[in-house]
Amino acid sequence: MAIDGTKLDANASKIRSVRYDRAKQLREKLAAAAEVRALPVVSEQASSDGTVKWLFDVGDGNAIESVFIPEDDRGTLCISSQAGCALACRFCATGHQGFARNLSTGEIVAQLWFAEFALRRRLGVAERVVSNVVMMGMGEPLANFDNVVSALQIMLDDHGYGLSRRRVTVSTSGMVPQMDRLKEACPVALAVSLHASNDRIRDEIVPLNKKYPLKELMAACQRYLVKAPRDFITFEYVMLDGVNDRPEHARELIALVRDVPCKFNLIPFNPFPNSGYDRSSNNAIRAFREILQEAGFVVTVRKTRGDDIDAACGQLAGQVQDKTRRQEKWIRIAEEKG
């Protein structure tokens, strides 16, 4: 059978033109329904240890931060879920700022989108740089539940970022009902900011504890593990001198978590003026760690990263102590950038 090349060419060009029209219609529809733009970057700072921190403008004088932390076997991006935080943990600079607003799903995913783009350009590579995401920046992720879950789904989707559930971690100060909801909606790895071995201390430093005390929190952790992608909860524990860092606290902690398979991440307190707290001594941290290890727990002590750019994850506000000073700094940077 002879094939008429002219007819084939004509058909191909007809198909191309139909496709073009459809693509054009889709572009017009998208332009009417959605806004496609990156978050405005106020600043990008790179540390000598490879840590990179971005400050993004989210409008109305609010800025949020994301931090990339490279390690030998992974690249972790720490992202924010809210501008400010309403939960007012006493040792947290974000908590001292107060709450401005929830970030949208787009604003949460945009942090990953931008970091991946900027890092590939910075490192001159074409392949994926961010392998892990931790929601340990500004804000309480589970207080912005719907937007955070939609953002997580995009990060996990094969048509999105295709990250594994094990490599995406939500950190919560212990919002018990939302932990149950997350377990059903999108069970990613979970870190819980424990910080105390009894309700008396936790009531004081994590006010949310008065609503969801430790017994309820431990039960919620057990329930979460039924669907969690990892078979342990990571308990974060900020080391505050003379407050929660004594050997008796470590022993009390062991009893508290006895029914919850877990690992501990000890975080040396990142001080800021007027916090009223000091960082535990290295000796106190070492002794605390040893007691937990002798009881069979895996314990890591968070390394201070990006010190020269003030980028310790979980304490992003750093030297910018309160909202006023933060905004002053932000406005100054914005003015310098013209």
Cα(338)–Cα(336) distance, integer angstroms: 5
Is 92 an annotated catalytic residue?
no
In terms of CB distance, is 54 or 161 closer to ligand SF4?
A: 54
The residue from 236, 285, 297, 306 that contacts ligand SAH (CB under 6 A) is 236
Residues 6+ apart with CB under 8 A from 61: 327, 330, 331
C-alpha–C-alpha distance, residues 95 and 87, integer Å: 6
Tell me which H or E stretch contains 211: none
Q: What gap in Å lies between CA 215 and CA 200, rounded to an integer?
A: 13
Q: Does 69 bind ligand SAH (CB under 6 A)?
A: no
- Determine which residue in the list 149, 238, 299, 320 makes contact with ligand SAH, applying CB under 6 A: 238
88 binds, among ligand SF4, ligand SAH, none (CB under 5 to 8 A by kind): ligand SF4
262 is an active site residue: no
Q: Any residues with CB less than 8 A from the CB of 230 and at least 6 apart, and which?
A: 166, 189
Residue 249 belongs to what H/E stretch?
helix 247-256
Choose between 70 and 139: whose C-beta lies nearer to ligand SF4: 139
Stretch that binds ligand SAH, among 32-40, 154-162, 168-176, 254-262 (CB under 6 A): 168-176
The 10 Å Cβ neighbour count of residue 11 is 10
Q: Which residue is nearest to ligand SF4 (CB)?
A: 95
Which of the following is catalytic: 65, 107, 140, 236?
65
Residue 136 makes contact with ligand SAH by CB under 6 A: yes
What lies within 8 Å, CB to CB, of 59 at 6+ separation is: none
d(CA 243, CA 196): 9
The interface mask with ligand SAH, positions 295-334, x = CB under 6 A, is -------------------xx-------------------
The answer to whether 92 contacts ligand SAH (rule: CB under 6 A) is: yes
* 250-279 positions binding ligand SAH, by CB under 6 A: 267, 269-270
CA distances in angstroms from 196 to 104, 129, 244, listed in the order given: 32, 35, 6
| Residue whose CB is less far from ligand SAH, 127 or 323 | 323
CB of 262 to ligand SF4, least distance (A): 19
Nearer to ligand SF4, 88 or 295 (CB): 88
132 binds ligand SAH (CB under 6 A): no
- The catalytic position among 184, 313, 328, 336 is 313
CA-to-CA dists, residue 285 to 200, 206, 234, 238, 250, angstroms: 21, 20, 18, 10, 10
Binding site for ligand SF4 (CB under 6 A): 85, 87-89, 92, 94-95, 139-140, 173, 193
Per-residue DSSP letter, 160: T
Give the active site residues.
65, 313
